[in-house]
Amino acid sequence: MLTHINLNDRGSNKETFHVELVAENLEYQCGDSIGIVPENDSQVVTDIIQVVNADGNKSIEYKKERITVYELLKRKINIVYLTERLVQHYSTATGHTIPAGRADLLELLKKYPVKNVAQFEEILVGLNAISPRLYTIASSPTAHEGEVHILVVKDVYESEGKRLIGLCSDYLRQFKTGKQQTFFVQPNKRFRLPAENKDIIMVGPGTGIAAFRSFLAERDATGARGRNWLFFGEQKFTTDFLYQTEIQNWYETGVLTNVSLAFSRDQQEKIYVQHKMLENAPAIYQWLEDGASFFVCGKKEPMSHDVEKALLHIIQQQGNKTAEQAMHYLEEMEKEGRYEKDVY
């Protein structure tokens, strides 16, 4: 790791980390993602081993691979927020009556102990492997040669009254400069920059800005002639304007033709990117009529649906079309590869 920076300022409700990794000779394109398999917390792994009085150095078989109990718990299997199915599997294996719901392995072991170490090992090999997490690449292969950048927000959520942090976002936010990390490239052939002379409209609130930092850096580095319009949104201008300096520089140098910003908590009434789209309806429709591509990146719910609803309204209103005709217009854009989404 080269760089690990929290882009949110003091007083923000969020932690969003810009992470740069050395990646010599890495081949990727703007719009691709990288996949990272996180590791479990070392203290939690140690606590699990101690609770059952197991030998962390003992080698057992998992998916036709010999691995120590410690390494299995640390790097291979998911031990947090187990699915309801796996909790019930644990219940059946141990003979305990456990309420339906999700739970961490350590929590289960403390409340509903295993009979012995052999039963513990049997349960371990039945758990799911840690799933890779995909992060849209925030760098340009031309502008950031030999590196790959991602944007990671600390994922905080509640379940059954408990405040939880996403495994991979917590893992990545604790990264230190110099740490090594294995990853893979996940191509996204349906989220590609058009020809260099084509216009693009990009809607990327929050971490959705990652893809468009990649797009803009690439277009800047290659001298692309197409116009670029960015819609970005977050909570507060003073604390949450991710990549503010770069965005301002791209606007000042003409790489960005238009920038439309929506900071939802800076006024009494919440304003989001879809509201800024509606404010600019005539210009957006003209760009579309001139052949612009429209990209959306970020949260699927509810952002991408709200953005599509606003886009359909713009097409219907500005194009003097029926709702059915507006939907057909958007479907044709999608067939032509001019309406693309990278949502999660």
Per-residue model confidence (pLDDT) at position 175: 86
* 305 and 334 both lie in a single domain: yes
Whole-Å CA distances, 77 to 45, 103, 183, 215, 229: 11, 15, 17, 35, 43
> Of 230, 316, 233, 329, which is closest to residue 281 (Cα–Cα)?
316
Evaluate whether residue 76 is within a structural domain.
yes
Cross-strand bridge partners of residue 134: 35
Evaluate whether residue 191 is within a structural domain.
no
Per-residue model confidence (pLDDT) at position 47: 98
What distance in Å separates the CA atoms of residue 82 and residue 128, rounded to the nearest whole number?
Answer: 9
Q: Average pLDDT, stretch 47-58?
A: 97
Q: Domain of 47: which CATH number?
A: 1.20.990.10
Per-residue model confidence (pLDDT) at position 230: 98
Enclosing H/E stretch for 279: helix 273-279
Reading the block at residue 293, the tokens are 């591509």
Whether the predicted pLDDT of 119 surpasses 90? yes
> One-letter amino acid identity for 113?
P
What distance in Å separates the CA atoms of residue 135 and residue 34, rounded to the nearest whole number?
Answer: 5
* 279 and 314 both lie in a single domain: yes
Evaluate whether residue 263 is within a structural domain.
yes
HSE-CB of 278 using CA atoms within 13 angstroms: 12
What distance in Å separates the CA atoms of residue 51 and residue 60, rounded to the nearest whole number?
Answer: 19
Per-residue model confidence (pLDDT) at position 53: 97
* 157 and 20 both lie in a single domain: yes
* 173 and 249 both lie in a single domain: no
Whole-Å CA distances, 319 to 7, 323, 339: 40, 11, 17
* 24 and 151 both lie in a single domain: yes
Evaluate whether residue 192 is within a structural domain.
no
What distance in Å separates the CA atoms of residue 259 and residue 11, rounded to the nearest whole number?
Answer: 25
Q: Average pLDDT, stretch 84-95?
A: 96
Q: Please give the share of the chain, as a percent, with pLDDT higher than 70.
A: 100
Whose structure tokens read 């936010």?
173
* Sequence-distant (≥ 6) Cβ neighbours of residue 87 within 8 angstroms: 98, 100, 101, 102, 103, 108
Per-residue model confidence (pLDDT) at position 157: 82
At 255, the pLDDT band (50, 70, 90 cuts) reads very high
Q: Domain of 12: which CATH number?
A: 2.40.30.10
Q: Which of 106, 124, 142 is the last residue of a domain?
A: 124
Q: Average pLDDT, stretch 146-173?
A: 89
Domain residues for the domain of 107 are: 42-124
Cross-strand bridge partners of residue 62: 65
Q: Domain of 246: which CATH number?
A: 3.40.50.80
* 112 and 147 both lie in a single domain: no
Q: Which range has the worst mean pLDDT, 11-15, 97-101, 172-176?
A: 172-176
* 206 and 159 both lie in a single domain: no
Enclosing H/E stretch for 67: strand 65-68
* 30 and 48 both lie in a single domain: no
Evaluate whether residue 212 is within a structural domain.
yes
Evaluate whether residue 318 is within a structural domain.
yes
Evaluate whether residue 218 is within a structural domain.
yes
What distance in Å separates the CA atoms of residue 281 and residue 303, rounded to the nearest whole number?
Answer: 18
What predicted TM-score, i.e. pTM, was given to this entire model?
A: 0.93
Residue 274: phi and psi, rounded to 5, are -65, -30
What distance in Å separates the CA atoms of residue 73 and residue 129, rounded to the nearest whole number?
Answer: 10
Per-residue model confidence (pLDDT) at position 164: 81
Q: Phi-psi category of 101—alpha, beta or left, where left has phi over 0 and alpha has psi -120 to 50? A: left
* Cβ pair 310, 271 in contact under 8 A: no
> Residue 141, preceding bond cis, omega within 30 degrees?
no
At 57, the pLDDT band (50, 70, 90 cuts) reads very high
Evaluate whether residue 217 is within a structural domain.
yes
* Cβ pair 289, 255 in contact under 8 A: no
* 83 and 9 both lie in a single domain: no
Per-residue model confidence (pLDDT) at position 162: 78
* 332 and 246 both lie in a single domain: yes
Residue 148: phi and psi, rounded to 5, are -140, 135
* 155 and 26 both lie in a single domain: yes
Reading the block at residue 186, the tokens are 């996940």
At 163, the pLDDT band (50, 70, 90 cuts) reads confident
Domains held by the chain: number: 3
What distance in Å separates the CA atoms of residue 299 and residue 320, rounded to the nearest whole number?
Answer: 30
- What's the order of all strands across the beta sheet hosting 133-136? 133-136, 33-36, 184-186
* Cβ pair 287, 258 in contact under 8 A: no
Whether the predicted pLDDT of 315 surpasses 90? yes
Per-residue model confidence (pLDDT) at position 161: 75
What's the first-to-final CA gap in the chain, in angstroms?
Answer: 25
* 161 and 264 both lie in a single domain: no
Whether the predicted pLDDT of 159 surpasses 90? no
